[in-house]
Chain A
């Protein structure tokens, strides 16, 4: 299904934002909120995983229903999961397309990566001590 990726802040994301290595953060930042009708069209339920793909890459998110989300919109908290598939192109403004990226959403059985894994995928080395 084709959707527009919308990102933004949420309270759960904000309360765990200084603990990006935690399970709490992973859960809230990897949630992809979809309109329940869209979830029905995809044949998935709350907690099922989806693979979201763009030219910049792909990411696995946990699908959650949200009545308020528009049809063909997927809302993800700001953070490394959303950014994993957003292009760095800014069209000369300095600002990437954080809220206008077109994405492909499909159900998947792949696991959700941890923040550490995402960083290692781009050349980092996770620090897990705290």
Chain B
């Protein structure tokens, strides 16, 4: 049986043109997807049943037992942390916020170690952006700054930018100019018209230099800025100013390098500046398939996109204080519920280590590094494979993930609702 227009839940591109062939309850073929999509749908090994850690190993337990103990752990905690959320659908994310509000927990999502700094910058200077189709149909200049879509968002360039045929850009490859800025010559840099190799931590200076040139202050620029020659900087600025429509996409190269949110702020301000001459937009390349969804859901429910602390009875937000890595690093939380993510693998060592010291429960379809640090692992559906629900693409467009097969697992939204019920003495959120 062929399923058409399937949405891939893996990365922020949320490609929705996949064709899946299913037989006997299994997905046997994936068409139109990239390698990441293929492995997502085809090599989908799951934890068969809930497990609990014992002195010496692991034992299987029932769902009821697992849910009961999870509720007890959360109930008994003074400062629980609910973390993750990025690979599951909005329905589960909403229940997560309700739970956090009920028990006065901190709830945070994976933006905190990904595009959190982008959000901090947006909160300072705003976000001049657009949907991906605007870029596809109009952009003649594309800039990839501090990101490597060939490896992290493999179809981005063929669906939305460099190679995509657009209404006003019918001859995409010839009509689009691609600029790549990175510390190393990646495969994305390999297809660029201009590759700007920048010294580590030099993004802020280079962005400032470009802003100065755009404003006509070329004379203040030295011969080299962070390893980039003045000639190249002038060339890049000229390409930008004379573009009909320029689009900057940026990734962890800006959010994680020295300066963090200040780098992004500078890039946004460069975009603002360019809007006085032509049309320019800037957008983050969101990593997980539904991390933007967790920002959206958290925001309309609590007011804040991540790192929300309910301990005071109100929604409180203070990155650096209420962010997951900091809370773990300070040993501040005494219980953790991890959903649809893997902080064991993605958090720095000392933060991940704290998860092993406290009662940690993970709700995720797959065994991952966090499993080893947890007391209980409850397997559930994988949104976009065996559970339907809402996901938000990297540009904010909401798409409904499909349920393609049934593997007999409970939806994580259902598991979370049961946990909520127990915490709330019997009534739903």
A binds B: yes
Give CA–CA (A4, B258) in the complex, Å.
12
Total A-B Cβ pairs within 8 A: 206
Give CA–CA (A87, B320) in the complex, Å.
14
B380 to chain A, nearest CB (A): 14
Give CA–CA (A11, B188) in the complex, Å.
13
B368 within 8 A of partner (CB) = yes
B159 within 8 A of partner (CB) = no
B229 within 8 A of partner (CB) = no
A83 within 8 A of partner (CB) = yes
Q: Binary interface profile of B, 135-171, with partner A (CB < 8 Å = 1, else 0)?
A: 0000000000000101110100000000000000000
A94 contact from B39, B184, B320, B357, Cβ within 8 A: B320
Q: Within A88-130, which residues are at the interface with B (CB < 8 Å)?
A: 88-100, 115-116, 118-120, 122-127, 129-130
B377 within 8 A of partner (CB) = yes
Do B329 and A88 touch (CB < 8 A)?
yes
If the complex has contacts A68-B186, A90-B323, are A73 and B200 also in contact, measured as CB distance less than 8 A? Answer: yes
Which of A69, A78, A84, A95 counts the most B-chain CB atoms under 10 A from its CB? A95
Do B371 and A127 touch (CB < 8 A)?
yes
A-side binding surface: helix, strand, loop or mixed? loop
B146 to chain A, nearest CB (A): 9
Q: How many residues of A contact B (CB 8 A)?
A: 57
Q: Binary interface profile of B, 346-365, with partner A (CB < 8 Å = 1, else 0)?
A: 11111111001100000000
If the complex has contacts A9-B151, A21-B367, are A73 and B356 also in contact, measured as CB distance less than 8 A? Answer: no
Q: How many residues of B contact A (CB 8 A)?
A: 79
Q: Binary interface profile of A, 45-89, with partner B (CB < 8 Å = 1, else 0)?
A: 000000000001100000000111110010100111001111111
Do B256 and A73 touch (CB < 8 A)?
no
Give CA–CA (A56, B183) in the complex, Å.
24
A residues neighboring B (CB under 8 Å): 4, 6-11, 14-16, 18-21, 56-57, 66-70, 73, 75, 78-80, 83-100, 115-116, 118-120, 122-127, 129-130
